[in-house]
Amino acid sequence: MKDPTNEDKTTNVLIVGVGGQGVIMVSKVLALMCQMNGYQVKQSEVHGMAKRGGSVFSHVRFGKQVWSPTIPAGEADVLLALEWAEGLRWLNFLEPTNGTFITDTQHIVPPFACLNRKRGATKVYSKETPEQIVAEVANSLALDATTMATELGNPRASNTILLGTLSTALDFPVEEWLQVISEFVPPKTIEINHQAFLKGREWSEKTKSQTISEPVVSPDIAACPPTPVNDDFELRLTRAWCKGCDICVKMCPERCLGLDAEQLVELRHPERCTGCRVCEWLCPDFAIDVIKPANEKMSA
């Protein structure tokens, strides 16, 4: 990264993560540290709809004179990611030759990544491994901060572990970091956050160059048992046995079924059926059979 003591240059730190992880807390700590050390600082975030579970980012810029509140793409000296896929999302903001990438290797998989109802579908989530990224990005530090924080007794302190790692890239005194952290975390958690900060700092001091911490979580590679060829299930409805109790209609996860004018079951959306067989199991009158595609055996 740039030498922050070079007063003519603005140092850019982009902090990213998932709403609720503490992106704003981390950036406030950093901003106050910069101010205490005599720099002009701008810290910019956008909250509102993105605050819960959405993608969150905060720009921190400091130096002798800071103009823009936001960091231009390709000019972040440090990209600090509290979550793996969020780090990858913002990687184009990192200064390509000297930028430092610090990231947690833990995945937070959003519900939107798990919407595909086809059999054998995979999560819509970054496929890169930490090894791959470390090989690609000049200065990168990938650590399993969430596990490290869980070991300390509070997984939420992972953000402070990463702050500790960030602190080794900036020339501010440790005592000041600890003091400022105390100002921003709930009083009951000051002790554990101090431990977390020192742990993150210690980890990166031990590892001077490109490093990945153990244990590393592997991405979504768990194989699906032999991928089925298709999802052409057939739903056989025995209307003579149906008494219109509505259980299958209410419980079908894909909302395929309905009751017709005679208040008997009908298949309204055959294209949506995934063959989950919930209707078959729940029907008290055995009026529904789910038939698998012809080329497939029934599972036990």
Partner 1 sequence: MNHHVKQSADRAASEGHQRPMTGNEALARGAWEAGVKVGSAYPGTPSTEIMENLSRYPAEDVAAQWATNEKVACDVAIGASFAGVRAMTSMKHVGLNVASDALMSMTYIGVNGGLVLIVCDDPGIHSSQNEQDSRMVAKLAMVPCLEPSDAQEALDFTKLAFDLSEQFDTPVIVRSTTRLSHTRSVVKLGERIEKTSKGFVLNPNKNVMIPSNARVRHPQLIEREEKLTGYFNTSGINRWEKGRKDIGIITLATSYAYVKETLPDASILKLGVSYPLADKLVEEFCKSVDRVFVVEELEPIVENEIKVLGIAVDGKNYFPRVGEFSPEIIRAGLEKAGVLEKRNLAKAHDSLPTPRPPVLCAGCPHTSGYMAIRAMDGRVMGDIGCYTLAAVEPLKSIDTCVSMGSSIGNAIGVAKSGQETKPIIATIGDSTFLHAGIPALIDAVYNNVDITVILLDNHITAMTGGQNHAATGKTLRGDETHRIDFEKMIEAIGVKWVRRTDSYDIATMYQTFREAAEYKGVSVVISDRPCVLDPVKVKGPSLTVISENCVACQSCMNLGCPALSWSDEWYDGHHKVRIDANACIGCTLCAQVCPADSIRPLEAETH
Chain residues 76-105 in contact with partner 1, contact rule CB under 8 A:
85-86, 88-89, 91-92, 96-97
Beta-strand relationship, 11-18 and 55-63: antiparallel
Length of the chain: 300
Min dist. Cβ of residue 48 to partner 1 (A): 3
Q: Rule CB under 8 A: is residue 294 a binding residue for partner 1?
A: no
User: What residues between 244 and 263 interact with partner 1 by CB under 8 A?
Assistant: 250-251, 253-255
Are 99 and 79 within 8 A, CB to CB?
yes
Residue 264 three-state SS: coil
Min dist. Cβ of residue 72 to partner 1 (A): 4
- Rank residues 205 and 244 by Cβ distance to partner 1 and give the closer one: 244
Measure the N-to-C terminal CA separation of the chain; round to a whole number of Å: 58
Q: Rule CB under 8 A: is residue 111 a binding residue for partner 1?
A: yes
Among 76, 81, 102, 137, binds partner 1 (CB under 8 A): 137
Among 1, 2, 37, 119, binds partner 1 (CB under 8 A): 119
Q: How far is CA 230 from the centre of its chain?
A: 31
Min dist. Cβ of residue 234 to partner 1 (A): 16
User: What residues between 4 and 63 interact with partner 1 by CB under 8 A?
Assistant: 18-19, 24, 28, 31-32, 35, 40-55
List CB contacts of 295: < 8 A, sequence separation 6 or more: 229
Q: Rule CB under 8 A: is residue 209 a binding residue for partner 1?
A: no
Alpha-carbon Rg for the chain in angstroms: 26
Backbone angles phi, psi at 62, to 5 degrees: -140, 155
Backbone angles phi, psi at 76, to 5 degrees: -80, 125
Backbone angles phi, psi at 150, to 5 degrees: -65, -40
Binding window for partner 1 (CB under 8 A); candidates: 116-124, 173-181, 192-200, 208-216: 116-124
- Rank residues 25 and 168 by Cβ distance to partner 1 and give the closer one: 25
